[in-house]
Every structure is written in structure tokens, then in C-alpha cells.
Amino acid sequence: MLRVSDVWERALHTPASAVARSGEVIVIRSGGYDGKQGLSLATGVSSRSAGAQALCLHLVTIPPGTRGVPHVHEGHESAIYTVSGETEVWHGEGLMQRTVVRAGDFMYVPPGIPHLPVNRSDVMTVAVVARTDPQEQESVVTMSLPPHLAELHDFPVATP
């Protein structure tokens, strides 16, 4: 099993802060929080951390044998790059479609498309997520698991 480095562990469990400003450039020392979608997020760029007006960028981790919460980002696009691991993503109306993304894959989620990540592997999934929501969590709308995915109730939510 992949162990997340101590640097990443600290980034996931300390508050984000802007530490340097050089002209128009802001450097953010990443900080973490648990998102509504049931995942640990390390904040990079957002309206809160950098004054961003049209995007956010953060790191997401999904521990082995866990899942997120079905959710949708109302009115916002998401772009995801998987750094490590493998994630099963249920998506679309009723979460009827299943796609597997692996390290090195990019994934685009259009605005308003429901999705649910599941890590069935024994390796930590780490992904970089960019979204057109500078507020990070305000557009997240959680949903219930549909009946055809009832077996996923046995998978703990990554961050309850």
C-alpha cells in the first residue's frame, strides 16, 4: 500500500495560508479539510486562499477501500488528473455509468453531472482537481446512493 508522504499528510491536515506575495503572484502553503463529497481535500488555489475569481485547484485523496458521497457541482466544470491509484467513478443520470480512471488519466466532468468516486484498490488514490468554482464547496450538492449501488453502503466514506 502506498503511504502518503509526511509533506502531503501535513498539507491535508493544516490550514491553508498565503505565505508569500510577489507582485501579483501568491504562494499558498496547502492546507486540508474534509469536503461535503466525503473526501479529504488539500486546498491550493481558491477565492479564500488566493482571491481567485473563477477557479479552484486542490489535491484529493481517497484511501484504499473507501468511497466518496454521490454529488454534483451545480454550474461548474471539473478537470481531474489522477496522480496515483485507480478509482472507479459512477456518473451520469442515476449514476448508471461506470468508468475506471488510473494514474496518468485525465477526466472531465461537465457542470451538473452526478458522480461518485470509489477506491476498491489497496493503493491510495491521489488526484489534482481543478474546478470553475472559486468557492470550492458552495456548488457541491450531495445525493443518496441509488438502489443499484446499495452494495457501496459497505464501503466507508473516506471522510465521514
Residue 55 corresponds to which cell in the numbers above?
477557479
CA distance 137 to 131: 10
Over residues 63-73, the mean pLDDT reads 91
Strand ranges, E, within 48-147:
56-62, 66-67, 71-73, 78-84, 86-91, 97-102, 106-109, 115-119, 125-131, 140-142
**Higher pLDDT pick, 92 / 9:** 92
Task: Give yes or no for residue 125 having a pLDDT over 60.
Answer: yes
pLDDT (tens digit per residue) in 72-108: 988 889 999 999 999 999 999 999 999 999 999 999 9
Task: Give yes or no for residue 124 having a pLDDT over 90.
Answer: yes
> Of 45-54, 76-85, 105-114, 121-130, which gets the smallest average pLDDT?
45-54
Over residues 51-74, the mean pLDDT reads 89
Confidence label for 12 from pLDDT (cuts 50, 70 and 90): very low
The answer, as to whether pTM is greater than 0.85, is no
**Higher pLDDT pick, 155 / 41:** 155
Task: Give yes or no for residue 127 having a pLDDT over 80.
Answer: yes
Instruction: Say what the pLDDT of residue 140 is.
Output: 77
Over residues 154-160, the mean pLDDT reads 82
Task: Give yes or no for residue 11 having a pLDDT over 50.
Answer: no
Over residues 59-78, the mean pLDDT reads 90
Confirm if 36 and 140 have CB atoms less than 8 A apart: yes
Rg over alpha carbons for the chain, rounded to the nearest Å, is 15
